Amino acid sequence: MKFGTVAIIGRSNVGKSTLLNRLLNEKIAIVSEKPQTTRTRILGVVHAPGAQIALLDTPGLHKPQHLLNRRMVRTAVETLEEADVLFVLMDATSLPGPGDLLVLDHVTAAVNKRRRPVLLVLNKIDLVNKIKLLPVLESYARLFAWTEVVPVSAHTGDNVQRLLTVAVSLLPEGEAAYDDDTVTDQTMRTLAAEMVREKLLRQTHEEIPYSLAVEIDEFIEEGKLARITASVLVERESHKAIVIGKHGERLKTVGTEARLDMERVFGMKVFLQLWVKVREAWREDELALIELGY
């Protein structure tokens, strides 16, 4: 039996959470086109024949501006330092940029402390033709002594099976750490909060996506019904008005979309109530961050 931890590392938006969901065949991490979507480490357990992988999605590595972001980067760095195998996710649609070099600095520092397999996972190959892929591959090959290079599309699933095979071959020997039916460490409360945040991210722009948080105030299961009350935290009164929208339309859309997701994932009827609250500078407030699970 093989068992090990695999960290998915990279800058924001390269598709780390999309890859996690793809490898699990289940949506446990929210995804959006806005940077810094993932704020915590998310465990997904991949059960393969003769092997189990504790796959860890992480926040995108970036230059942090707020306490929230410093904690996000710390989470990613700690995860990368502890993992047995690293998936370094890069975007196949562009040549390495400053954000990617920052990621490689972190990876190099961790590997210098303790050697272990480092895979270059070049994602989003569905967006580039093969001729354009070659120079990107060559640039990355020059930057690091990769154990293996695997181009994939987390979106279509192209070559993801091969990535799994390579990962399993690099895992240490060991007993499975999780039950056969364990998929994630995310609680229903956390999943519910994140589903609301995902819909909010899609509906908002500029500064607002970064300054939003969602807190579950009440999660009551009554047989096949869940009564969920959640607060959307924003940093300013003006943001509150935007999140609510004209005649409450935006918040209503968010609520409906999130509820439908919850009903599908939880397999129960959901009654969802959303409130919007102003909590000034929560991104700098350690207590608020701890309460929010960040």
Ligand X SMILES: Nc1nc2c(ncn2[C@@H]2O[C@H](COP(=O)(O)OP(=O)(O)OP(=O)(O)O)[C@@H](O)[C@H]2O)c(=O)[nH]1
Q: Which is nearer to Mg ion, 38 or 231 (CB)?
A: 38
Buried-state track 135-157, b at ≥16 Cβ within 10 A, e below 16: ebeeebeeebebeeebbbbbbee
232 exposure class (CB count in 10 Å sphere: 0-12, 13-18, 19+) = buried
268 exposure class (CB count in 10 Å sphere: 0-12, 13-18, 19+) = middle
**Identified binder of ligand X from the candidate list 123, 184, 211, 231, rule CB under 6 A:** 123
Using rule CB under 6 A, residue 239 touches ligand X: no
Task: Quote the tokens at residue 219.
Answer: 């999660």
Residues binding Mg ion (CB under 5 A): 16-17, 37-38
Sequence-distant (≥ 6) Cβ neighbours of residue 49 within 8 angstroms: none
Smallest separation (angstroms) from Mg ion to the CB of 63: 17
Residue among 235, 253, 275, 274 at smallest CA distance from 199: 253
**Identified binder of ligand X from the candidate list 2, 4, 5, 15, rule CB under 6 A:** 15
Among the candidate windows 103-111, 147-155, 189-197, 209-217, which touches ligand X by CB under 6 A?
Answer: 147-155
Using rule CB under 6 A, residue 237 touches ligand X: no
Q: Which is nearer to ligand X, 124 or 239 (CB)?
A: 124
Q: Which is nearer to Mg ion, 17 or 226 (CB)?
A: 17
Using rule CB under 6 A, residue 68 touches ligand X: no
Sequence-distant (≥ 6) Cβ neighbours of residue 105 within 8 angstroms: none
Task: Quote the tokens at residue 56.
Answer: 């860890």
Looking at residues 150 to 209 of the shown chain, list those that interact with ligand X (rule: CB under 6 A): 153-155
**Identified binder of ligand X from the candidate list 2, 9, 38, 228, rule CB under 6 A:** 38
Among the candidate windows 119-127, 185-193, 243-251, 280-288, which touches ligand X by CB under 6 A?
Answer: 119-127
Helix (H) or strand (E) holding 151: strand 148-151
Using rule CB under 6 A, residue 40 touches ligand X: no
Q: Which is nearer to ligand X, 19 or 171 (CB)?
A: 19
**Identified binder of ligand X from the candidate list 124, 197, 239, 259, rule CB under 6 A:** 124
Smallest separation (angstroms) from Mg ion to the CB of 11: 11
Residue among 83, 95, 36 at smallest CA distance from 60: 36
Using rule CB under 6 A, residue 71 touches ligand X: no
Using rule CB under 6 A, residue 16 touches ligand X: yes
Using rule CB under 6 A, residue 5 touches ligand X: no
Cα→Cα distances 10→21, 97, 98, 222, 254, Å = 16, 12, 12, 41, 29
Bridge partners, 265 (sequence order): none
As a whole number of Å, the end-to-end CA separation of the chain is 34
Smallest separation (angstroms) from ligand X to the CB of 223: 34
Residues of this chain that interact with ligand X (CB under 6 A) are 10, 12-18, 31-33, 35-38, 59-60, 123-124, 126-127, 153-155
